[in-house]
Chains A and B, each alone.
Chain A
Amino acid sequence: MEVRDLTKRFGGLVAVDHVTFQANEGEVLSIIGPNGAGKSTLFKLITSFLPRTAGRVIFQGEDITGLSAHLVARKGVVRTFQETTIFKEMSALENVVIAHHLRGRATSVGLFLNTRVARQDEASFRDSADEILDYLGLSRVRHEKARRLPHGYLRALGIAIAMACDPKVLLLDEPFSGMNPEETDRMVETVRGIRDRGVTILLVEHDMRAVMRLSDRIIVLNFGRKIADGTPREIQNDEAVIEAYIGREDDELGI
């Protein structure tokens, strides 16, 4: 996947400013930066949840900029959400079953008439949902209403929903936020496992320990601009990055 000069302006504010990068197949590419750097906006632009001002997103040789969000998902570029965006009034299992929507072969009329294809779809969705829930350690709570699940499970459920779409590129928006160290460790392993299945992962995250362990490459944004791009080790020693995070001594002010 290739992002070229992607730009988003909100009035006078340039939230994402000519960001260009490439994500290689099967890698974990993290996007970090201080709050307000434009990371989440970048995700929304890639997945068409926000219209871009300029720039392009190329996926598998095809320009996917400007497609509707559901069509981008259909191409295999799937995002998760910050916080806990799930279908709250459905059970964990139902959440994952419905997320198989893209694999459905039955038409609306077929669903209504409960044709054989519709029944086959449903059976295969359930099997696959069971497998995904199992993989993410959610089997025990599969019949629990999502609203009642604790935070850690909800994050996992968010990823389960995205996995059900059979993504080629998975964009994870702060999957580790609000997790304790053990939960984070488990989730890091899970994300690695997903990558090992051949899924390219784009990760926006503030938990640097997790980012450094997980990432193959890191991109750093500040005020909407890409200020660095490299391996975790390179990023850790990058002057511009350190400055963006910690600030620089100001001789005039004496701090």
Chain B
Amino acid sequence: MRLRVAAALVGLALYLVVVPFVFRESRYLLGVLTTASVLSLISLGVWLTFAIGRINIGQAAFALVGGYTTAILSVKLGVSFWLCLPASGLAAALVGAVIGWPILRLKGVYFAMITLTLSEAARLAALNGGTITQGATGILNIPLPGEVTFAGVVLVPAFRALNVHLAFYYLAAILLVLGLFTVTRIASCRLGWIFRSLRQDEALAASIGVNVAKYRVLAFALGCFFAGIAGAFFTVSQQSIYPSSFGVPDSVYFMLYCFLGGLSYVSGPVVGAFVLFLGFELLHGLREYQMLTYAAIMITVMLWLPNGLLSLRLPARPDMKADTA
């Protein structure tokens, strides 16, 4: 336990202090790490739906909801990004709860298929959203995060006054740490047990008085919240959003990050996202063979480590072990 905490602290220090200090001038590397962090955050949301035994390929839809919420609020209504960010998470969670309530009755491949179509439906909705989403043109010129002051003290300076890449790196890192902490906490408290009980047998869970519908919507909406936050982040860091900003392939990737990292571990999606995303970037030199090599590695990992990359070192903790979803 103490070892675990120490390892976590060392990791945190590396991630929040050493890396940004050493690579503060390297736009490319900071950008890659920033993206990997936020992809991890989205995938953590997908992991939460895995935790209740549902394969979710609809996360892109909720990232779009979050992204457009931030875009519309900040461009059309001039709302500060720091309010747009939680609003985007809440908007995505709300949409997730409303859609999730009926569709979470489905299981297995049926749920997966419905969520897959959600990814596409969200894109089409954005494309046909008229003046609200500005169709295929998308929403551009989204302002960078402004400064946050409290009682005259500048808590967060305006991003344009800073090394923007470094600022976004920190924002992403802090969001990921908060997200990872939240999910770890959920998995270790009795809520995590309840989620696991749903994954293993919903009928039995109902028989012991668990409000099955409530808890699976809770898990799903939380996952969507993460997607909304991440969508808002990408929108403001790229200062634009289009209907195609998040699509079906993205949803598939988020799910794969969870799979390849290891479903049994809270940190699985984070490891999966970092390894796969950084791996893809590292293979950049292979040019036209990049995708092929990447796919081959992915298949190999799936074949040889069906329980994910993390199963390579850590034996699964008994209470966390994955069940066949």
Contact = CB atoms under 8 A, between A and B. Distances in A.
B9 interface: no
A40 interface: no
Contacts of B191: 108, 111-112
Contacts of B321: 89
Interface stretch (B63-71, B182-190, B286-294): B182-190
B207 A101 contact: no
Given A101-B194, A111-B191, A161 B319 contact: no
A69 B190 contact: no
B218 interface: yes
A111 B189 contact: yes
A52 to B, nearest CB: 16
Contacts of A118: 189-190
B319 A79 contact: no
Given A87-B200, A108-B191, A122-B190, A94 B319 contact: yes
Most chain A CB inside 10 Å of its own CB: which residue of B200, B212, B218:
B200
Interface string B282-325: 00000000000000000000000000000000000011010100
A145 interface: yes
A112 B208 contact: no
A99 B193 CA distance: 10
Given A94-B193, A118-B190, A86 B204 contact: yes
Nearest to B188: A114
B264 to A, nearest CB: 10
15 contacts: A69-B206, A80-B207, A81-B203, A85-B203, A87-B200, A88-B201, A88-B323, A94-B193, A94-B319, A98-B194, A101-B194, A104-B190, A108-B218, A112-B189, A121-B190
Most chain A CB inside 10 Å of its own CB: which residue of B203, B206, B212, B218:
B206
A114 B196 contact: no
A86 B318 CA distance: 16
A132 interface: no
A114 B200 CA distance: 24
A160 B323 CA distance: 22
B210 interface: yes
Most chain A CB inside 10 Å of its own CB: which residue of B193, B207, B213, B318:
B207
Contact of A111 (B190, B204, B209): B190
A137 B102 CA distance: 42
B190 A90 contact: no
Interface of A: 47, 49, 68-70, 73-74, 78-81, 85-91, 94, 97-99, 101-102, 104, 106, 108, 111-112, 114, 118, 121-122, 145, 161-162, 164-165
Given A87-B197, A89-B321, A111-B191, A162 B209 contact: no
A69 B214 CA distance: 13
A17 to B, nearest CB: 25
Given A87-B201, A145-B318, A98 B209 contact: no
B200 A90 contact: yes
B318 A98 contact: no
Interface in B89-120: none
Nearest to B193: A98
Contacts of B318: 91, 145
A117 to B, nearest CB: 12
A68 B214 CA distance: 12
B300 to A, nearest CB: 27
Contacts of B239: none
Given A90-B319, A111-B189, A81 B207 contact: yes
Interface string B217-246: 010000000000000000000000000000
Most chain B CB inside 10 Å of its own CB: which residue of A49, A102, A106, A111:
A111
Given A102-B209, A165-B209, 12 more contacts: A70-B206, A70-B212, A73-B206, A78-B208, A78-B209, A86-B201, A89-B321, A90-B196, A98-B193, A104-B190, A111-B190, A112-B189
B208 A161 contact: yes
Contacts of B203: 49, 69, 81, 85
A92 B142 CA distance: 54
A69 B207 contact: yes
Interface in B122-139: none
A98 B197 contact: yes
A219 B256 CA distance: 54
B211 interface: yes
Given A87-B201, A89-B196, A118-B190, A49 B208 contact: no
Contacts of A101: 194, 208-210
Most chain B CB inside 10 Å of its own CB: which residue of A81, A108, A161:
A108
